């Protein structure tokens, strides 16, 4: 999975800004490349779960389409737990082709990981950060 450095930086900044709550947003690109992200409001306003605000989701779809791209995944933060899918993440994922990026702020240095999740199982993706 290729992700632009600016996207990773924006996701980490969003996670820091929304801490102690989980942040969330959408990933925009094509196939196995993420070229942009759109932050969203966490409709659950929770430190342990997230729900992307539906109006923010639709706005991200419109933004992606205007660029000839698509929403290819979502991101969220784990303010105090590892960058691994939680039981809730595993249970609620419904598209095995969707990319899930998780940023953990549990350590001094943020940890970022990517997964595809299907049938209650997560498959780790190698992140290639590009400029």
- Is residue 91 predicted with pLDDT exceeding 90? yes
What's the pLDDT tens digit per position in 104-126? Answer: 999 999 999 999 999 999 999 99
The span from the CA of 54 to the CA of 105, in Å, is 25
23's tokens: 């942040």
Q: Where are the domains of the chain?
A: 2-130
- Is residue 97 predicted with pLDDT exceeding 90? yes
Asked if CATH classification 3.40.140.10 holds for the domain at 2-130, the reply, yes or no, is yes
- Is residue 31 predicted with pLDDT exceeding 90? no
* Confidence grade of residue 66 (pLDDT, cut at 50, 70, 90): very high
- Is residue 40 predicted with pLDDT exceeding 90? yes
**Going edge to edge, which strands form the sheet with 2-4?**
121-125, 111-118, 99-104, 70-78, 24-30, 33-40, 2-4, 128-130
- Is residue 54 predicted with pLDDT exceeding 90? yes
* Confidence grade of residue 62 (pLDDT, cut at 50, 70, 90): very high
């Amino acid at each position: 999975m290729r992700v632009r450095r600016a996207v990773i930086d924006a996701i980490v900044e969003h996670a820091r800004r929304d801490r102690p709550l989980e942040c969330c947003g959408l990933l925009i690109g094509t196939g196995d490349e993420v070229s942009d992200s759109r932050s969203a409001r966490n409709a659950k306003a929770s430190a342990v779960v997230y729900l992307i605000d539906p109006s923010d989701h639709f706005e991200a779809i419109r933004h992606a389409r205007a660029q000839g791209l698509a929403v290819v995944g979502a991101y969220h933060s784990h303010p105090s737990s590892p960058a691994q899918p939680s039981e809730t993440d595993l249970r609620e994922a419904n598209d095995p082709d969707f990319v899930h990026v998780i940023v953990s702020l549990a350590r001094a240095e943020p940890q970022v990981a990517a997964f595809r999740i299907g049938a209650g199982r997560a498959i780790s993706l190698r992140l290639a950060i590009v400029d």
